[in-house]
A and B are shown apart, each in its own frame.
Chain A
Amino acid sequence: MSKMESYWLDLKQLDEMAGNRTVLHRIHPCAKLLTTVIFLTVVASFSKYEISGLFPMFFYPIFLIILGELPLGPISNRVLLALPFVIFIGIFNPLLDQNPVVQFGPFFISGGWISFLSILLRFLLAVTAALILVATCGIDAIGMALLQLKVPKVFVIQLLFMYRYLYVLLEEFIRTIRAHSLRSFQGEGIRPRVWGSLLGQLLLRTIDRAQRIYQAMLCRGFDGEIRLIRQKKLVGMDIVYFLGWSAFFIIIRLVNVTQWLGTLLIGGY
Chain B
Amino acid sequence: MHMADALISPVVGGTMWLATAGLATYSAKKIKQGLDEKKVPLMGVLGAFIFSAQMINFTIPGTGSSGHLGGAMILAILLGPHAAFLTIASVLAIQALFFADGGLLALGCNIFNLGFFPCFIAYPFIYKQIVGERSNQKRLFLGATIASIIGLQLGAFGVVLETVSSGISDLPFSTFVLLMQPIHLAIGIVEGLVTTAIILFVWRERPEIIQKAAMSESLGNLTIKPVLVGLLAFTLITGGVLSWFASSNPDGLEWSLAKATGVEELQAPEDGIHGILAAIQKKVAFMPDYNFKEAEESVVNAPKGKVEESWPAVNSGTSTAGIVGAMMTLLLAGVIGKSLQLVVKRH
Contact = CB atoms under 8 A, between A and B. Distances in A.
Contact of B311 (A111, A195, A255): A111
Given A102-B311, A200-B197, 14 more contacts: A14-B98, A45-B253, A102-B319, A122-B6, A127-B5, A127-B100, A134-B97, A153-B28, A155-B28, A160-B44, A203-B49, A213-B41, A258-B329, A269-B317
Interface string B31-48: 110000110111111111
Interface string B113-128: 0000000000000000
B13 interface: yes
A242 B325 CA distance: 26
A154 B172 contact: no
Contacts of B47: 158, 161-162, 165
A188 B205 CA distance: 26
A86 B41 contact: no
Contacts of B28: 152-155
Contacts of A155: 24, 28, 86, 89-90
B337 A260 contact: no
Given A47-B309, A49-B310, A111-B311, A263 B250 contact: no
A261 B329 contact: yes
Contact of A206 (B4, B49, B69, B341): B49
Interface residues of A, number: 133
B252 interface: yes
Interface stretch (B150-158, B221-229, B274-282): B274-282
Contacts of B340: 63, 66-67
Interface of B: 2, 4-10, 13-14, 24-25, 27-29, 31-32, 37-38, 40-49, 51-53, 55-61, 66, 69, 74, 86-87, 89-91, 93-94, 96-101, 103-105, 163, 167-172, 175, 193-194, 196-198, 200-202, 205-206, 209, 250-254, 257, 273, 275-276, 279-280, 283-284, 286-287, 290, 292, 294-295, 298-299, 302-303, 307-312, 314-326, 328-330, 332-334, 336-338, 340-341, 344
Interface string A28-64: 0000000011001111110111111101101100110
Interface string A189-227: 111100111011111101101110110010000001000
A105 B308 CA distance: 23
A199 B308 CA distance: 49
Contacts of B206: 204
A120 B168 CA distance: 11
Nearest to B31: A154
A1 B254 CA distance: 47
Contacts of B31: 154
Contact of A114 (B167, B303, B311): B311
Contact of A93 (B45, B169, B341): B169
